[in-house]
Chains A and B, each alone.
Chain A
Amino acid sequence: MTAAAVEMRDAGLAFGKRSLWSGLDLDIGAGEFLAVLGPNGSGKSSLLKVLLGQLSLSAGSVRFPALQHRRRGPAIGYVPQQGTTEEAPAVRGVDLVGLGLDGHRWGLGLRGKRERERRVAEAVRAVGATSFAEQPITRLSGGERQRLRVAQALVGEPSVLLCDEPLLSLDVTHQGVVGELIERRRRSAGTAVVFVTHEINPVLPYVDRVLYLHDGDFRLGTPDEVMNSATLSGLYGTKIEVVRLAGQIHVAGAHVALCEDEPHHVEEQVL
C-alpha cells in the first residue's frame, strides 16, 4: 500500500475557548476525493489552512507521508475561496496560471520558456479560458477568475489539491467542467483532493468520503454513511431530513447551510 497523502492524528483546532473540531483522525490516500461540508464557521477553510501549513493545530499532528522529504508547497495545488484574494494590476490570466506552474522557483525563468507557454496554454484551454486568458484579471468576472484559479492549481501537477469552494459563481456547465478536470487529474496522477464546498451534488459521483463538520463535532465516511437522516440528525442534534432525488442529495432542516449557494465569511472574522 502506498503512503497516505495526508495523515492527521487526533487533530484539533481551537480559537481561544471555541473548538472548531477535535479528535480528528484522517488519512487521505493518493487519488482520494474528500468532500468537506458543514455550515459557515465550522472550520472548513481552517482545515485547508492547517493543510497549507498556515495555521497550527491546537492538538494532534498533521503529516504528508507521501511527500517524504520533498517540500510541501510545490506539491500542493490550492484554489482559494473567491473574495479572499485581491487582484493586482498588470497581471493577465496567463500570468496567474504561469505563476502556478513555476512561480515558486528562483530566477527569471528564461530557460524552457516555450515549454512553459505550451503547458500554460493547455491548462487554460482545459478550463475553457482561452478567449479571456490574455486579459487583465481585474477585468474578468468572478466565474472567469475561478476557472483560471483552477487552471493555476492544476498546471503545477500537484499531488495534493486543496479547493476552497471552487464551484462558487460558476454556472452549471462550468461546474461540470471543473469537476471533471479535477476528477481526471486524480484518476491519471493519483492526486488527493480535499474539496471544501457548500454544494456536494455537482461532484457527488467523484466523492469517496465526506467530512461533515458542525459545531465542534464531525462525521467522516462515505457519502452514504454520512449523508443520511440519522447521521446528520445526530450531528446537528435536531431533526434533519436527507432526501435522495434523481441521484442528488437534498438536505432539509433547521440551520442547514448545505445546498446554499452563498460564500461564508465567518471563519475569516475569527482569524
Chain B
Amino acid sequence: MENLFDIELTLRLLGLDFVRHALLASALLGLVAGALGPLIVMRRMAFAVHGTAELAFTGAAAALLLGMVFDGIAVEYGAIAGAVLAALLLGILGGRSAERDSVIGVVLAFGLGVGVLLLWLYPGRAHTQLGLFIGQVISIDRTNLAVYAVSTVAVLGVLALLYRPLLFASADPVVAAARGVPVSLLTPLFAVLVGIATALGVQTVGMLLVLALLVTPAAAACRVTSSPTRAIVLAIAFAELAVLGGIVLSLAPGVPISAFVTAISFAIYLSCRLVEHLRARVRKRKEADAPEGVATAGAAAPAADR
C-alpha cells in the first residue's frame, strides 16, 4: 500500500499492454453497468443481481474445470452461460413478486454450493480460483476483449430497442400492462441482459463485488436526479469513475482492484446521499418561507371584513 502515491510507477504500468486491455474491458463494463443500473434499481433487482453473479461464478468454475478437458473453453463463456441460466431460472421461478426474494435466496445458495464443489475439483492454481471471487481484470487479453466488445454492443443494442416499454414496465407495471406492453415477456429479457452484464462483472471485479458496479452507481444517481435519462448518464459516469479509478489506483500498490472499485463507488453513493440531504433542507426552508408569505397576504382580507 505504501506505493499508492507512486505516480511514476503508476504511469509506467499504464503503458503496459495488459493494463490497457484491463482499462478498455472495464470501460465497457462501466458503460453496460451504468446503462442497466437505473432500471435494476427501479425494478428492485439488487438481490437478483447478486444471485445472478453467484451463478455466473458457478458457470465460470464449471468452464474452468471443463477447460482442463477441452482446451479453449474460456472462463467468460462459462460465466455468461451461468449468468444467463440464472437470470432465466430466477425469471421463471420467481414470477410473482411476493416470492421473488425467497426464490433468489434458494437458487443462489444452491448455485454457490455447486460452484465451491467445482472449484475444489479444479486442480489448478489457487490464484485462478480466487480470481473469480475478487476479479482478475489484469489477465484479460485480446480474445477476452472481443467477447467484452460483442457483449457490450449486444446488450446496449437490445436495451435501446426495448428501452421505452422496459421503462414503462419498470416504472409503472400496472398501466404498462393495460396499454399492451408485454410486461411478462420483458422480465426474462431484461434478466438476460443483466445476466450478461453480471458475467462481465465477474471477470473484472469478481463475483463478490458485481453489485458495486451494477447497483451502487445507479442507486447513487437515483439520489440526485429523478429523470430516468439523466439517471442513466450519471450512473455510467459513476460506474466509469469507480472502475477506471479503481484500476489506476490499484496499479502501484498491487492491491486487488475490487477494494478500490468498491471504495470509490461507495464514496460516490455517500456523496450523492449528502447532496440529496442538503437539497431537501434547502427545499424545506423554501417551503417554510412560502406559507408565511401566503399567510400575510391572506391576513389582510379577514381584517377588511372586521
B299 beta carbon closer than 8 Å to chain A: no
A54 beta carbon closer than 8 Å to chain B: yes
Q: Give the residues in chain B near A105, CB-CB below 8 Å.
A: 164-165
Q: Give the residues in chain A near B65, CB-CB below 8 Å.
A: none
Q: Are B176 and A104 in contact (CB under 8 A)?
A: yes
B77 beta carbon closer than 8 Å to chain A: no
Would A90 and B179 be within 8 Å (CB), given that A99-B168, A99-B171, A106-B161 are in contact? Answer: no
Chain B: CB-nearest residue to A81: B174
Q: How many residues of B contact A (CB 8 A)?
A: 31
B108 beta carbon closer than 8 Å to chain A: no
Q: Least Cβ distance of A183 to chain B in Å?
A: 22
Q: Are A103 and B168 in contact (CB under 8 A)?
A: yes
Q: How many residues of A contact B (CB 8 A)?
A: 35
Of A2-10, A70-78, A210-218, A234-242, the one contacting chain B is A70-78
- The answer for the CA separation of A84 and B227 in the assembled complex, in Å, is 23
- The answer for the CA separation of A108 and B165 in the assembled complex, in Å, is 9
The 0/1 profile, CB within 8 Å of A marked 1, for residues 180-211 of chain B is 11000000000000000000000000000000
Q: Least Cβ distance of A87 to chain B in Å?
A: 8
- The answer for the CA separation of A148 and B226 in the assembled complex, in Å, is 16
Would A88 and B42 be within 8 Å (CB), given that A71-B180, A95-B228, A135-B226 are in contact? Answer: yes
Would A103 and B162 be within 8 Å (CB), given that A52-B178, A54-B177, A89-B41 are in contact? Answer: no
A173 beta carbon closer than 8 Å to chain B: no
Q: Which of B42, B162, B174 gathers the greatest number of chain A CB atoms within 10 Å?
A: B174
Would A90 and B225 be within 8 Å (CB), given that A105-B164, A105-B165, A106-B165 are in contact? Answer: yes
Q: Are A107 and B181 in contact (CB under 8 A)?
A: no
- The answer for the CA separation of A78 and B168 in the assembled complex, in Å, is 14
The 0/1 profile, CB within 8 Å of A marked 1, for residues 265-280 of chain B is 0000000000000000
A100 beta carbon closer than 8 Å to chain B: yes
- The answer for the CA separation of A108 and B176 in the assembled complex, in Å, is 16
- The answer for the CA separation of A100 and B179 in the assembled complex, in Å, is 8
Would A72 and B180 be within 8 Å (CB), given that A88-B172, A102-B164 are in contact? Answer: yes
B14 beta carbon closer than 8 Å to chain A: no
Chain B: CB-nearest residue to A153: B175
Instruction: Report A's interface with B, CB cutoff 8 A.
Output: 52, 54, 71-74, 76, 78, 80, 84-85, 88-92, 95-96, 99-100, 102-109, 135-136, 149, 152-153, 156, 162
Listed by A's residue number, 7 A-B pairs whose Cβ atoms lie within 8 Å are A76-B178, A78-B178, A92-B227, A95-B228, A105-B165, A107-B161, A108-B160
